[in-house]
Amino acid sequence: MRCLGLLLRLLVGLVAASPCMAQRLPSPARFDFTGLYNPARRAQVDVRREADSLRLYVRFPDASVLRPGQPLRLVGWSNYNARSPLWQTTVPLGSRTLRREGTAAWVECRVLAAALDGVQVLVAWPAAYLPDDPAVAAWLELTPDMRSRSYILVDSVGQPLLRRYVRVGEPFGVDCYGPEQPLTVRRYTATFAPALPPYSKPAAAAKPRSLRAEAEQEVRAGQRMRLPEPGLYTIQPANAGAPVGVLAPNGAFPDLTIATELVAPLRYLTTSEERTRLEQSNTPKREVDAFWLRAANNRQGPARQLLQQFYSRVEEANQLFTAHKPGWMTDRGLLYIVLGPPNRVQRSPAEERWQYPNAGYGTATYVFRAKPSTFAPDYYELVRRPEYELLWYAAVEQWRTGLNAPRAEAGR
């Protein structure tokens, strides 16, 4: 262990694996991933290929978890069901690897790509903790595209963007390894439907489709850019790996700031007649307020609480699940908004399982299957089942009768 620590210091951030680092850890399938769906507390990570290495960019929302003298642990498994890690090492934290940003902190380090052969699940966390807290553990599913992509998206000041959406008109850029490369930006116009209820017939769901680029633009190397109109975009530097897809929404996304944005998510709680009235109203804010007042039996306090709770979940779903469409429109966003954050989340290869308490009947489990694409590498679709119908209507009725108003969410 001493010789390994000396080697790590000499490598100055370029870390390599060693069998003597082995330590017993549970299989990832035994972890509870619920905390990753708390946007304010979750640690995040991005990766860029650099010659024979991968550079990791890890952001911790609470810098205090990085204690002096404690290294960062990196552990890789072959998949979520693996019983033991395939690879692990530590990274010393110092001026070359650690950078503070207000109350948050960034850790950057390089890992030999060959050391990660066979690793599909990677996690980074401070050695003083266990990787079961979302504020200290950053999880990454390491795909072939990630291994080969020698660039990352960055914001207007050069920080890793760590999200799959860029607002219309928002300045951002691409940070390439090595010489800056000219970029090809392609725009795709497509409309996508919001998620259907969990009990819907699978045949009713929209089928996958191919999209054709409607516009293409070359961007000078190293130039900051702005996406001019809403839509789906791919961004690809020359000779730098696979393209990355981003959604370009209007407004202050993921926040809801105008009245018309409040109407669409209410489709999850309303009848077709109510939706028509909301969508055709010349005073949408008044109609939205009236809906929540009716739900709260004309009590303004509970109505306000219901409204705030519902739209907070919509905004959080946008932060967490946005892919080729806004997060509130996705299957995971649907459950997150109506049922709330899950009580337990388990992951296995190509699946997520969300569990909720079901009063009088134990636990209700919802299964999501991975459906990755260029625009949505971590997109999941719900396995719909008719037995969810009664559970769903009961949850919707909780909102429509104001029963959700007095309850405080656990952990919030």
- Is residue 190 very low, low, confident or very high in pLDDT (cuts 50, 70, 90)? confident
User: Per this entry, what is the length of the chain?
Assistant: 412
Question: How confident is the model at residue 205, as a pLDDT?
Answer: 58
**Euclidean distance between CA atoms 300 and 11, whole angstroms:** 62
Cβ burial, residue 368 (10 Å; 0-12/13-18/19+)? buried
371 φ, ψ (degrees, to nearest 5): -135, 70
Nearest to 143 by CA among 231, 189, 100, 79: 79
Strand partners, 185: 217, 235
**Euclidean distance between CA atoms 161 and 278, whole angstroms:** 35
- Is residue 2 very low, low, confident or very high in pLDDT (cuts 50, 70, 90)? very low
Is pLDDT larger for residue 41 or for residue 5?
41
In degrees, rounded to 5, the angle at the alpha carbon of residue 171 between the alpha carbons of residues 231 and 228 is 35
Tokens describing residue 188: 């795709």
Q: Report pLDDT digits (tens) over 328-370.
A: 999 999 999 999 999 999 999 999 999 999 866 789 999 999 9
Domain limits, the chain? 2-148
Q: Which residue has the tokens 């890793």?
A: 160
pLDDT of 241 > 90? The answer is: no
pLDDT of 6 > 90? The answer is: no
Q: Report pLDDT digits (tens) over 153-189.
A: 999 999 999 999 999 999 999 999 988 889 999 999 8
Q: Report how far Cα 303 is from the mean position of its chain's Cα atoms.
A: 30
pLDDT of 196 > 50? The answer is: yes
Which amino acid is present at 7?
L
* 8 A C-beta contact, residue 330 and residue 323: yes
* 8 A C-beta contact, residue 185 and residue 235: yes
Segment 76-91 shows an average pLDDT of 96
**Contacts by residues 350-354 (CB-CB < 8 Å, ≥ 24 positions apart):** 352/33, 352/380
Question: How confident is the model at residue 95, as a pLDDT?
Answer: 87
Sign of CA pseudo-dihedral 188, 318, 76, 109 = positive
Question: What CATH number does the domain located at 2-148 have?
Answer: 2.60.40.10
DSSP, collapsed to helix, strand or coil, labels residue 88 as strand
Identify the H or E element spanning 263. helix 259-263
pLDDT of 110 > 80? The answer is: yes
Which amino acid is present at 276?
T
Supply the mean pLDDT for the chain.
89
Q: Report pLDDT digits (tens) over 112-166.
A: 999 999 999 999 999 989 888 888 999 999 999 999 999 999 999 999 999 999 9
Q: Percentage of the chain surpassing pLDDT 90?
A: 74
* 8 A C-beta contact, residue 277 and residue 270: no
Q: Report pLDDT digits (tens) over 291-334.
A: 999 999 999 999 999 999 999 999 999 999 999 999 999 999 99
